[in-house]
C-alpha cells in the first residue's frame, strides 16, 4: 500500500503519478476523510481532557466532603460521548484503510506512458527466430504426436484448461524445472525454499492480490479462508511478513518451484488452445528482499537471471518494459520477457519481473534494521518468473521441432534426460 502520510500531505503528487496508469485519484475524498478524521480526533482529545479534569475535581470534592453526584453524572456522560467518538474514529479509519488498500502502486518515473500492452516498449532482443523449411506444427499437435500431451484426458479428469503430460514430454517438463532451479541456485546464488501451496487471506493481502483480485483466485470451500496460490510469490514473499531482519542478511534471494492456480476470470475465449493459459501450471519463482537504495539494480539483475535461462536453452526472446496502463496493481516497474512461439509467429510472455519498492512491505510490515540508524525500515521486494515451466516447454517443443516430427532436446537439458538427445514421435 501507499504511504498514508504521503496521501494525506501530498495527494496531488500521488494523483499525478497514478495518472500514468490512467487512474484518476479521488483527491476530494482523501481531503474529506482527513478533515473528518481531524475533527473527530480533536473532539476525542477534548473529551479525554474534560474527563480527566472532572475526574480530578471529583477527588478534590470528595476530600472536601462535597456532593460529587453531579460531577460523576457529568463524567459518565463524557464517557458515553467519548465512546461514541471513538467508534466514529474507528469507522473513519476503517473507511480510510479500505480506500487506501484499493489504490495501486505509483509507477516509477521511467515507466513509459501507455494504455495497454500495445504501448509497451521493447528494450532488447536475443537471437533471431529460426526459419523452418517445412510446415511447422504447434505444441498441441507436436505433443500429441509424441504421445506426451493430452488435453482431452485433462478435461475428463477435471475440466477445460487442464492437461496431462506423459513419457518423454513429462520428463522434459521436469528437466526444465530442475535445470532452472540448479541454475538459479548454483550460478545466481538463490536459496531454494519449499512453501505451502495453500495460503490464508493475510498472505494474499500482503502481496496485493486481495481484496481487489479475489475473482482470479481459487478459494477453498472451507470454514477457514484458504486459497490455492496463484504464484509462489505469495507464500515466499510472506516469509518476511511481520519480521525485522538484520541489515547484514540482505539481500535475501529465494527461489521456489511450485504449482500455480488461476481461475483466469475474464480470459474466456483467449488462448483456449494449448498450454498458454491454463488453470494449473508450474513455475520457478525468484523473490528478492533488498535495501531501498539497491532495488533498481536488483531488478535489472533479476531480469538478467530469467533471460539467462532462455539463452542457455537457445530460445529467441525479447524484453519489454511495461507501460503505465499495463503494469500490475502492486508493481512500480515491470519487465516482461517474451519467448518466440513459431506457430503463432510472435513473441509471448514467459516471465514477468517486477519491483514493488516498499508497496508490499508496507502491507506486510516486512522490515530490516538499518545498520546506521538502528531503526526498522521497510524493505523493497522484487519477484519474477524464472521461468514459467509450461510455456518454456511449449517454446522448446516448437522451436526445436524437426521435419520428421521429432523434437531435439537442448544440450543443457540432456543431462537431466539421461543423455537423451531427442523426443521421437510415437508410431501409430
Other Cβ atoms within 10 Å of 372 Cβ, number:
6
Considering only CA atoms, which of 54, 28, 48 is closest in space to residue 89?
48
Is 395 marked as binding a ligand? no
Work out the number of other CB atoms within 10 angstroms of the CB of residue 395.
25
Please check if 350 is assigned to a binding site.
yes
Cα–Cα separations (whole angstroms), residue 374 to 122, 189, 213, 245, 379 = 42, 28, 37, 12, 14
Asked if residue 381 belongs to a known ligand binding site, the reply is no
Residues in the chain: 428
What gap in Å lies between CA 336 and CA 319, rounded to an integer?
6
CB burial of 268-287 (b: ≥16 within 10 Å; e: otherwise) equals eeeeeebbbbbbbbbbbbbb
- Residue 167 is inside which H or E element, if any? helix 167-186
On whether 152 is known to bind a ligand per the annotation, the reply is no
All three cell numbers of 212, joined, read 481487489
Does the annotation list 351 as a binding residue? yes
Q: Is 127 annotated as a binding residue?
A: no
Q: From CA 116, how far away is CA 112, in angstroms rounded?
A: 11
Distances in Å between the Cα of 26 and the Cα atoms of 7, 54, 114 are 11, 42, 21
Q: Is 144 labelled as part of a ligand binding site?
A: no
309 is in an annotated binding site: no
List, as residue ranges, the binding site for L-serine.
231-233, 285, 385
List, as residue ranges, the binding site for ATP.
262-264, 349-352
List, as residue ranges, the binding site.
231-233, 262-264, 285, 349-352, 385
Amino acid at each position: 500500500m501507499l504511504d498514508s502520510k504521503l496521501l494525506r500531505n501530498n495527494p496531488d503528487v500521488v494523483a499525478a503519478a497514478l495518472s500514468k496508469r490512467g487512474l484518476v485519484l479521488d483527491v476530494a475524498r482523501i481531503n474529506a476523510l482527513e478533515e473528518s478524521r481531524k475533527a473527530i480526533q480533536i473532539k476525542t482529545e477534548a473529551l479525554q481532557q474534560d474527563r480527566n479534569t472532572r475526574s480530578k475535581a471529583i477527588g478534590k470534592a470528595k476530600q472536601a466532603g462535597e456532593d460529587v453526584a453531579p460531577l460523576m453524572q457529568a463524567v459518565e456522560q463524557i464517557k458515553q460521548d467519548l465512546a461514541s467518538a471513538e467508534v466514529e474514529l474507528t469507522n473513519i479509519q476503517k473507511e480510510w484503510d479500505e480506500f487506501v488498500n484499493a489504490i495501486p502502486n505509483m509507477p516509477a518515473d521511467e515507466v513509459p506512458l501507455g494504455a495497454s500492452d500495445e504501448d509497451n516498449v521493447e528494450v532488447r532482443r536475443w537471437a533471431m527466430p529460426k526459419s523452418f523449411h517445412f510446415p511447422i506444427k504447434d505444441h498441441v499437435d507436436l505433443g500429441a504426436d509424441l504421445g506426451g500431451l493430452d488435453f482431452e484426458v485433462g478435461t475428463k479428469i477435471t475440466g477445460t484448461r487442464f492437461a496431462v503430460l506423459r513419457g518423454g514430454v513429462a520428463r522434459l517438463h521436469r528437466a526444465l524445472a530442475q535445470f532452472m532451479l540448479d541454475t538459479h541456485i548454483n550460478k545466481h546464488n538463490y536459496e531454494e525454499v519449499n512453501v505451502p501451496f495453500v495460503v490464508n487471506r493475510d498472505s494474499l493481502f500482503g502481496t496485493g492480490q486481495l481484496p481487489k483480485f479475489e475473482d482470479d483466485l481459487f478459494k477453498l470451500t472451507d470454514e477457514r479462508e484458504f486459497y490455492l496460490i496463484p504464484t509462489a510469490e505469495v507464500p515466499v514473499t510472506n516469509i518476511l511478513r511481520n519480521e525485522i531482519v538484520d541489515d547484514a542478511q540482505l539481500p535475501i534471494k529465494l527461489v521456489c518451484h511450485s504449482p500455480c492456480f488461476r481461475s483466469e476470470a475474464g480470459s474466456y475465449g483467449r488462448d483456449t488452445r494449448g498450454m498458454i493459459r491454463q488453470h494449473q501450471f508450474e513455475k520457478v519463482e525468484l523473490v528478492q528482499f533488498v535495501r531501498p537504495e539497491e532495488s533498481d539494480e536488483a531488478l535489472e539483475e533479476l531480469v538478467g537471471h530469467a533471460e539467462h535461462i532462455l539463452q542457455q536453452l537457445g530460445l529467441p526472446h525479447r524484453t519489454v518494459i511495461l507501460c503505465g496502463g499495463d503494469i500490475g496493481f502492486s508493481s512500480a516497474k515491470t519487465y516482461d520477457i517474451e519467448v518466440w512461439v513459431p506457430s503463432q509467429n510472435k513473441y509471448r510472455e514467459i516471465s514477468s519481473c517486477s519491483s514493488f519498492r516498499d508497496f508490499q512491505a508496507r502491507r506486510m510490515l516486512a522490515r530490516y534494521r538499518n545498520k546506521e540508524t538502528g531503526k526498522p525500515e521497510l524493505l523493497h521486494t522484487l519477484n519474477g518468473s524464472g521461468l514459467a515451466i509450461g510455456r518454456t516447454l511449449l517454446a522448446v517443443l516448437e522451436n526445436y521441432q524437426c521435419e520428421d516430427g521429432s523434437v531435439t532436446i537442448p544440450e543443457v537439458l540432456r543431462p537431466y534426460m539421461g543423455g537423451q538427445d531427442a523426443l521421437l514421435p510415437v508410431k501409430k
